[in-house]
């Protein structure tokens, strides 16, 4: 089950309605949602040039990390499916609950309650829902 993304104000995050651009820019640019506090003139949330430049740098690194996380997630899920298939093909069980408990505990210790939720998602990606 997926949860809705919630904005900082507590309301559900919803994309802004698409409006035709008044400045002659492409419709695709007008369709992009604007983050809270942003304007078309300040897509970083600030008009101060040094801060805006730093925000752009940080966001570029965040995008790189996101790409790496997605790639690792997909690799982990494929490896986990391979382990399960190999185990079942040799007459073993579908799951090894002690292994799953170890993974849940490792993530909980490292990341707290959010780590447990992340570990549950990782496990489901590799073995499917129970």
Span 46-76, pLDDT tens digits: 999 999 999 999 999 999 999 999 999 999 9
Record the tokens describing residue 20, joined without a space: 């035709």
Q: How many residues does the chain have?
A: 130
19-46, pLDDT tens digit by residue? Answer: 444 545 444 444 455 455 455 567 999 9
How far apart (Å, rounded) are the C-alpha atoms in residues 120 and 26?
A: 41
Q: What pLDDT shows up at residue 1?
A: 42
pLDDT the model gives residue 10: 47
| 83-95 residue pLDDT tens | 999 999 999 998 9
Token pair belonging to 114: 């959010």
CATH number of the domain located at residue range(s) 46-127 in this protein: 1.20.59.10
Gap between the Cα atoms of 36 and 114, Å rounded = 24
């Amino acid at each position: 089950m997926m949860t809705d993304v919630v904005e900082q104000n507590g309301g559900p995050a919803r994309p802004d309605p698409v409006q035709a651009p008044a400045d002659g820019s492409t419709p695709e640019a007008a369709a992009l949602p604007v983050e809270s506090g942003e304007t078309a003139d300040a897509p970083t949330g600030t008009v101060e040039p040094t801060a805006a430049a730093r925000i752009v740098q940080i966001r570029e690194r965040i995008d790189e990390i996101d790409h790496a996380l997605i790639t690792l997630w997909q690799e982990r899920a494929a490896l986990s499916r391979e382990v399960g298939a190999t185990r079942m093909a040799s007459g073993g069980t579908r799951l090894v609950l002690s292994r799953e408990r170890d993974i849940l505990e490792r993530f909980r210790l490292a990341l707290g309650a959010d780590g447990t939720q992340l570990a549950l998602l990782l496990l489901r990606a590799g073995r499917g829902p129970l």
